[in-house]
Amino acid sequence: MPFSKLGLSQPLVSAINEMGYQAPTAIQEKAIPVVLEGHNLLAAAQTGTGKTASFLLPVMEMLSKGETKRKKRVRALVLAPTRELVAQVEKNAASYGKNLALTTLAMYGGKDSKEQKQRLIDGVDILVATPGRLLDMMTQRAVHFDELEMLVLDEADRMLDMGFIEDINKIIDRLPVDRQNLLFSATLSDKVRFLAKTAVPNPVEIAAESNSKTEIEQWLTTVDKDKKSSLLAHLITENAWDQALIFIETKHGAAKLVEQLGKRGITAESFHSGRSQPMREQLLEEFKSGQLQFLIATGVAARGIDIEELKRVVNYDLPFPADDYIHRIGRTGRAGAKGEAISFLSKDDFKNLCMIESRLGHLIERRDIEGFAPRKPVPISILNYVPKNKREGKPDSEKKAPRKEAKPSRSPESKGRGFKSDADKPRQSRDSQAKRRPQRSDKPKDQNRREDANPWGNLKPRSGNE
Ligand code: AMP
């Protein structure tokens, strides 16, 4: 079904078409008409399902019909748990609304509040905020909600897990009663339903159809760097793997690994920006047909490879940032098929692991492979890990967050799990890497640098729900 059939008008439809969205995802098909009809909505959907567009698009459609940007007034409020998510949602809103006159503002701690205050005085149609910073601004009377039309609680379960319930209630108390409310949550737990009772009265309830990502069995194994290639060869031969997409950081590393596997009798090919376009196309065809079993790709290929029945992805190097992990593992387990995502973890990867597992909201199962135990064990992650540079300069109440820190659970049930329960499901993410990834140059001379160039050239990136 095309987006226009869902009741969205041309400015939004052309903006999303330009972004490569060809058809709505399941959650979008369900949510958009309900919101456009003016109902309150309670939606079970995790990241990766296209949930952000499923609320932003109808919100923007509705707001675009009225008078935009009224001075000192906010017309729609989106509350989200983290500054990253706030930034992503606002970025999406700005892209979807490029043909509309709506104004958007991302509000979170660590950013100069003066500028945000001025923007609020000028008027903001859609304010996306973390509860902590928003409450600060409300206390300072910098934001007015008396003309608020719509409220969205995004990733409500995560906001509750982070201890934002009091802030959320305080905020809601100060909103006009006559408003439309949307709540999105990966799980509709009792806690979420309790919040929904007051925040989202009489909602239409929907759920994203079973997400293919839930079929991905993720596990990791700790290994010293110098043992990685032999571990990979061991896994391939011991488990008689017929195919794997193996992600590695650098072009040089990819070429070296092909050679190392070759010495062990395993044929593989490298796939990166250093290879010619016809060669890359040929490799992809061979890999898709099963003629080529092992493809060693630099991270950038995570965006382009769409193979119907890819059984297995290996993170030979753990990706950075955390969203890259999500995109990489998303290459497998597509369309309901079972998939496996294996990561090699070395001691230098600890912080990276913390960020990935915090992003997922749970620990990844660890498996020991006999003969490959590292000289020093890699500790269990700190969930809700905030890197040092992000901790500094948090000026407001968010500095105290996470309020109720989710402790890494070491219970046998929480360790070593696939995605048996809803709470275990991985959170998928949108294309925000470019924003958060540190800038890297793309000098082809340096074969050791992390591969970040687009090796796709004219190859079309996949257009699915990535
Ligand atoms: P979300 O679940 O909102 O985190 O979205 C995950 C990713 O899916 C983001 O990269 C979106 O840009 C992308 N996306 C959302 N809707 C669509 C769609 N209908 N078609 C293709 N990609 C989409």
Mind giving me the DSSP string for 256-315? HHHHHHHHTT--EEEESTTS-HHHHHHHHHHHHHTSS-EEEEEGGGGGT---TT--EEEE
Residue 131 lies in a domain: yes
Whole-number Å distance between alpha carbons of 358 and 374: 23
So what's the pLDDT on residue 104?
96
Q: Give tens-digit pLDDT for 249-289.
A: 999 999 999 999 999 999 999 998 788 767 887 898 899 88
> Bridge-partner residues for 184, per DSSP?
43
Nearest CA owner, ligand 1 atom 1: 50
3 state SS of 126: strand
- For ligand 1, the distance from its centroid to the CA atom of residue 31, given in whole angstroms, is 14
The arithmetic mean of pLDDT across residues 235-249, rounded, is 94
The Å distance, Cα 47 to ligand 1 centre, comes to 9
Q: What is the pLDDT of residues 130-164, one digit of tens each?
A: 999 999 999 999 999 999 999 999 999 889 888 89
Average pLDDT rounded to a whole number, residues 376-391: 69
Of the three residues 207, 242, 264, the one that is the final residue of a domain is 207
Both 194 and 100 in one domain: the answer is yes
Sheet of strand 244-248: strand arrangement = 268-271, 294-298, 244-248, 312-315, 339-345, 216-222, 365-366
Kindly give the distance from the C-alpha atom of residue 356 to the centroid of ligand 1, in angstroms, as a whole number.
Answer: 20
Atom 7 (ligand 1) nearest CA: 430
pLDDT of the residue at 383:
66
How does residue 355 score in pLDDT terms, banded at 50, 70 and 90?
A: confident
What pLDDT score does 189 carry?
82
Within this chain, do residues 72 and 194 fall inside the same structural domain, yes or no?
A: yes
Does residue 462 belong to any structural domain of this protein? Answer: no
Length of the chain measured in residues: 466
Instruction: Match 């809700």 to its residue by tokens.
Output: 384
Answer yes or no: do 137 and 259 share one domain.
no
Distance 327 CA to ligand 1 centre (A): 12
| pLDDT > 60? residue 19 | yes
My answer on whether 178 and 318 are in the same domain is: no
Q: What 8-state DSSP symbol labels residue 442?
A: -
- Looking at the structure of the chain, the number of domains it has is 2
**411 domain residue, yes or no:** no
pLDDT at 422 over 60: no
Q: Is residue 113 part of a domain?
A: yes
Residue 184, domain CATH: 3.40.50.300
Same-domain pairing of 106 and 223 = no
Let me know if residue 338 belongs to a domain: yes
Q: Which residues form ligand 1's pocket by a CB distance below 6 Å?
A: 21, 24-25, 28, 47-53, 428-431, 465-466
Could you give the CA distance from residue 359 to residue 350 in angstroms, rounded to a whole number?
14
Share the mean pLDDT of the chain: 79
In this structure, the residue with its CA closest to atom 12 of ligand 1 is 430
Q: What is the DSSP string of 230-246?
A: HHHHHHHHHTT---EEE
What atom in ligand 1 is closest to the CA of residue 24?
19
Question: 16, 21, 212, 326: which to mutate for ligand 1, most atoms within 8 A of CB?
Answer: 21
Residue 445 lies in a domain: no
pTM of the model: 0.55
Say if residue 132 is in the same domain as residue 236. no
Domain finish residue from 364, 389, 414:
389
Distance (Å) from CA 144 to ligand 1 centroid: 31
Evaluate whether residue 342 is within a structural domain.
yes
Among 16, 46, 465, which residue has the most ligand 1 atoms within 8 Å of its CB, making it the best to mutate? 465
What pLDDT score does 20 carry? 84
**What's the pLDDT score for residue 377?**
86
450: number of Cβ within 10 Å: 19
| Ligand 1 centroid distance, CA of 29 (Å) | 13
For residues 203 and 270, membership in a common domain is answered with no
Tokens of 305: 């490879």
Interval between CA 168 and ligand 1 midpoint (Å): 26
Q: How far is the CA of 212 from the centre of ligand 1 (A)?
A: 14
Best of 25, 51, 89, 428 for a ligand 1 pocket test (most atoms within 8 Å of beta carbon): 25
Statement: residue 405 has pLDDT above 50: no
Domain with 104 in it: 3-207
- Shared domain check, 175 and 129: yes
- Mention every residue, 6+ apart, whose C-beta is less than 8 A from residue 322: 352, 355, 356, 358, 359, 360
- Residue at a domain's end among 342, 369, 389: 389
185 and 294 assigned to the same domain: no
Q: Whose CA is nearest to atom 22 of ligand 1?
A: 465
Residue 157: the pLDDT is: 87
**CA of 431, closest atom in ligand 1:** 10
Report the share of the chain in percent with pLDDT over 90.
49
Q: Are 34 and 171 in the same domain?
A: yes
pLDDT value, residue 180: 98
Nearest CA to ligand 1 atom 18: 21
Phi first, then psi: what are they for 335, rounded to 5°?
Answer: 50, 45
Cβ–Cβ < 8 Å for 227, 435: no
Does a structural domain hold residue 434?
Answer: no
48 alpha carbon to ligand 1 midpoint, in Å? Answer: 6
Asked whether residue 184 falls in the same domain as residue 248, the answer is no
Largest CA-CA distance found in the chain, in angstroms, rounded? 70
Nearest atom in ligand 1 to the alpha carbon of residue 52 is: 3
Residues 242, 306, single domain; the answer is yes
Distance separating alpha carbons of residues 454 and 179, to the nearest angstrom: 45
Contact 300, 454 (CB under 8 A): yes
Strands annotated E in 3-154: 41-44, 74-79, 104-107, 124-129, 150-153
